[in-house]
Chain A
């Protein structure tokens, strides 16, 4: 399916969705955070989309917004898209978990929580998976400072 066809179907799944292919080989869909879970579950269940394989889930710090990038693939139709979601609140960023849609998100959300501090609603057990529980701050944020362990050029 071409990107135009994908865009036409996905437009009907929610409101205020933004589409772009600029600077990327995939069709990018920017989803408002309130609609994340409903759009994602439709992306998986829609008979013409069937995005069942989330092959990469990336945390991002766009300064000032934090966010998550989902690279999705359909094992049946072989088409691919990128879903992006942003959250402006840096103090207490919260998004909905999609682990019930793609179970791989369980671990990837733990990684994102560990490095970016984004909390995921309904996640089965949110915890520090790489760093120690008492670690202060979130290292992959752009404003993270650790004078002892980081070499800043």
Chain B
């Protein structure tokens, strides 16, 4: 029999398989219901809520200072940036202008957070594709950032360093020196990362041309962050709606047009250099100033709606606060980057191999609590 005759004789049928909720590639509790025909994926249906804590409902009960602490637990790899988003929204409502010192420190720590997050992503992306070494390289360097955070505010991951009106306390005397030491060392590590994984032929074959997302789809599906920029959609909140100290630093928005897994990978790798550059521009000139603007013990926002967006390591985080003038918000909505980015997964995973879905998911850098909230 010829191959074609064999093909015609073998009958296949579609069936369901659960990927997750405990799957290594999901990095958390995400369940994907796959409809597959052999190794080919026909449909991906995400089933969420395994780590849903109803943070939005809890916010309606809590004061504005308390809400800040809840946001750590959404995208825990961007915890400082999430805190900043809520603080900026509350400051917008109260019409408080924080000092330049606060703005610069917030920006430096946000960029350190971004580097730490991208390091972790790079490590697990390699691991998802079978290259275990990357994980240890990345965690070695990320550890140094966590040590800086620990010295600054006591916490390594869920930082709670921001409060409405400024920062909880001033930076540690060692902060500037340790950050500079880290940057000097990290600049020698990025080329090492590239030698280890970026230039690897097997890695190219697993990622190039896989999971292609077009610019039109990225916009329509509300995709943001490095995933959108890998498809040529200019969506960097730091550029389009500058907040904190981003309007006084010079940095490039990294854009690639291929839209495949490798493009998304390259966006993040080059963003590491941009984050390093932003920190270098600010670290020697942290202005003097007060660390916290005066706020009342019980914060009451005026009646109205307040919206603020920031660029987390995963994309655009929007905070919508609807206030009726009380000490609790009437409604809080977190527009999380992960939830919108996840919605594209079914669209770009049709008729691909299961292994390619793993590569695509790795390049999306999902943090499940950010999706579930």
Interface size class of A (residues with CB under 8 A): 35 or more
| Beta-carbon contact of B48 and A129 below 8 Å | yes
Residues on the A chain within 8 Å of B206, using CB: none
Nearest A residue to B302 via CB reads A23
In the bound complex, CA of A108 to CA of B307 (Å): 18
Instruction: Find B316's partner among A24, A55, A59, A152 (CB 8 Å cutoff).
Output: A55
Q: For chain A, residues 13 to 70, give those with C-beta under 8 angstroms from any C-beta of chain B.
A: 22-26, 52-56, 58-61, 69
Query: Contacts A55-B335, A107-B340 hold; do A130 and B57 have CB atoms under 8 A apart?
Result: no
| Beta-carbon contact of A129 and B220 below 8 Å | no
Give 6 closest A-B pairs by Cβ, nearest first. A23-B304, A104-B222, A130-B49, A107-B343, A56-B335, A58-B333
Could you say which of A26, A54, A78, A132 has the most chain B C-beta atoms within 10 Å of its C-beta? A54
| Beta-carbon contact of A60 and B342 below 8 Å | no
Nearest B residue to A152 via CB reads B61
In the bound complex, CA of A60 to CA of B56 (Å): 12
**A98 to B: closest C-beta gap in Å:** 11
| Beta-carbon contact of A131 and B221 below 8 Å | no
Residue tally, chain B, CB below 8 Å to A: 38
Q: For chain B, residues 239 to 258, give those with C-beta under 8 angstroms from any C-beta of chain A.
A: 240
Instruction: Find B343's partner among A53, A106, A140 (CB 8 Å cutoff).
Output: A106
**B124 to A: closest C-beta gap in Å:** 24
| Beta-carbon contact of A56 and B343 below 8 Å | no
| Beta-carbon contact of A60 and B220 below 8 Å | no
Residues on the A chain within 8 Å of B304, using CB: 22-24
| Beta-carbon contact of A56 and B305 below 8 Å | no
The 0/1 profile, CB within 8 Å of A marked 1, for residues 331-344 of chain B is 10101000110110
**A46 to B: closest C-beta gap in Å:** 16
In the bound complex, CA of A151 to CA of B220 (Å): 39
Q: Known pairs A56-B318, A106-B343. 19 more at Cβ < 8 A?
A: A25-B306, A25-B307, A54-B222, A56-B307, A56-B320, A56-B333, A56-B335, A60-B331, A75-B233, A82-B305, A104-B220, A104-B340, A107-B342, A108-B339, A130-B48, A131-B49, A139-B57, A140-B56, A151-B61
- 10 cross-chain CB contacts under 8 A: A23-B305, A52-B219, A55-B309, A55-B335, A58-B331, A71-B320, A129-B48, A130-B49, A131-B49, A140-B56
Q: Taking chain B's interface residues, is the majority helix, strand, or loop, or is none over half, making it mixed?
A: mixed
CB of A11 closer than 8 Å to a CB of B: no
In the bound complex, CA of A71 to CA of B222 (Å): 11
Residues on the A chain within 8 Å of B303, using CB: 23
| Beta-carbon contact of A58 and B339 below 8 Å | no
Query: Contacts A129-B49, A151-B61 hold; do A71 and B220 have CB atoms under 8 A apart?
Result: no
CB of B4 closer than 8 Å to a CB of A: no
Query: Contacts A107-B342, A107-B343 hold; do A60 and B318 have CB atoms under 8 A apart?
Result: no
Query: Contacts A75-B233, A107-B339 hold; do A52 and B48 have CB atoms under 8 A apart?
Result: no
CB of A122 closer than 8 Å to a CB of B: no
**B349 to A: closest C-beta gap in Å:** 15
CB of A121 closer than 8 Å to a CB of B: no
In the bound complex, CA of A59 to CA of B332 (Å): 10
**B332 to A: closest C-beta gap in Å:** 10
Nearest B residue to A60 via CB reads B331
